[in-house]
Amino acid sequence: MLYTSKISQGTLPIMKTITILWVSFCFSLYTLAQPYEPVPIEKYFVSAEKGEHLPVNKIREKYPQLSQMITNGFTSYKIIYHSHNVNGELIDLSGALFIPDSDELHPLLNYNHGTIFPSQERNAPSYLSNFSMESGIGKIFSAAGYVVMLPDYIGYGSSKSFEHPYGAYDIIARSSIDMIYAVKEFCKKEKIRLSSKNFFSGWSEGAAVAMAVIRQLEKSGDIQPTATVLNAGPYFSSGFVQHILNSQEPLKFMNTYAWVLQSYNRVYQLHKPLEYFFNAEAAAKLKLNIQAKIPLVPDQLFNETFKASYLSGNEKDLEEIFIRNDLWNWKPAGKLVLCHGDQDDYVPYFNSVKAYEEMKVKGADVSLRTFKGQTHSSGVMYYLMEMYQTFKDAN
């Protein structure tokens, strides 16, 4: 058996509701100079541009190893919908939508993608690229009978002129939730029959986004998640930053960790110069390119004064932001399965362990699937099989 089922306990009216949730969230961000009230959205769906149609036989030829999952063909669409930017202004966002070739009732699956650097923006779902592995996940599950939606998030597709609020999971989750409303409007318009089942998934950044999505939906009570399967998400932000700053070894994904810090500085309006966080040379490079070549050893990258101050508990504003982006400290109402490779050197395994243990104590229906010997990406097939079986059992 390539993964263990779980670890044992202890081892490690709609518009009014939406507006209230947004105002409440924004007010809670005390680091913002002036909490904002977002512009109300009366209609979410804007447009749909049809992409490819693939019949069932072509999909089986393309994914022979997954043929047992494939029951129908699908048609893809690029969806444009109304949502909000970080500051509450009304903007148009985009995403991919895959509709099965069937008149049956279809469950809805919201899949949230992992990290995409600005230089890789063309990998965003709405481009419907045949080279995107995560868009492939959308295609496979649509061929299994699901209406599958993949939001681009702020900063990609139709909103690529804006900066992505990387690591600000509640804000990104709003992009996904607004797309759900838009997809439901589109399906009603096109007489596509949706069942009452709502499934959620995501990988890496997308796993954290999906966790934030189901947390917000369960609070609002408007859409109830049926089951959620996540893979390798950073649910323990406040612990993750401690892990990074305390590490004495090179961290090969340091650019993404540094990107989170830069994003928080901007999104939550800390207004610190980058030299406050990083050494002068690295700060100068990161101002020009978040993917610049920077030191991978924390002691060589971070400003020594900042690092010592944070680890001593003297960076209260920033520490509170990391805590606000923790996703383990609540009790999901629906079924939740956390998947994670125990050799993950990008998003460490302890993120899922923390979420599992804390949620289990609270009485949640949560499981941890540990992919033994697997890294951040090598366990993807086991994750897909876990998604398929969990959703099938709950459908």
B/e letters for 227-243, b = 16+ CB within 10 Å, e = fewer, are bbbbbbbbbbbbbbbee
Secondary structure (3-state) at 315: coil
CB count in 10 Å sphere of residue 190: 10
Which pLDDT belongs to residue 130?
75
Phi, psi angle pair for 35, to nearest 5°: -55, 140
Instruction: Count Cβ atoms below 10 Å from residue 218 Cβ, excluding itself.
Output: 17
Find out whether 208 and 70 touch, Cβ atoms under 8 Å. Answer: no
Kindly give the pairing relationship between strand 366-371 and strand 3-4: antiparallel
Token pair belonging to 145: 């009978």
Q: How many CB atoms lie within 10 A of CB 313?
A: 8
Instruction: Return all residues near 110 (Cβ < 8 A) that are at least 6 apart.
Output: 149, 151, 176, 179, 180, 198, 199, 200, 201, 210, 213
Structure tokens at 34: 């002036």
**Six-digit token pair at 354?**
């923390």
Instruction: Return the pLDDT at 11.
Output: 36
> DSSP readout, 270-281?
----HHHHB-HH
Give me 307's structure tokens: 């690092």
**Which pTM value belongs to this model?**
0.90
Measuring CA to CA, how many Å separate 351 from each of 191, 359, 368? 41, 12, 11
State how far the Cα of 208 lies from the Cα of 196, in Å rounded to an integer: 24
| Residues with Cβ within 8 Å of residue 168, at least 6 apart in sequence | 86, 263, 264, 267, 268, 325
Helix, strand, coil percent content, the chain, rounded in steps of 5: 45, 20, 35
CA distance 181 to 279: 44
pLDDT for residue 38: 66
pLDDT averaged over 10-residue windows placed end to end, the chain, 395 residues: 37 37 38 51 96 94 89 97 95 98 96 97 92 87 98 98 97 97 98 97 98 96 94 98 97 98 97 98 98 98 98 98 98 97 98 98 98 95 96 96
Give me the helix-helix angle, 205-220 and 14-28, nearest 10°.
120
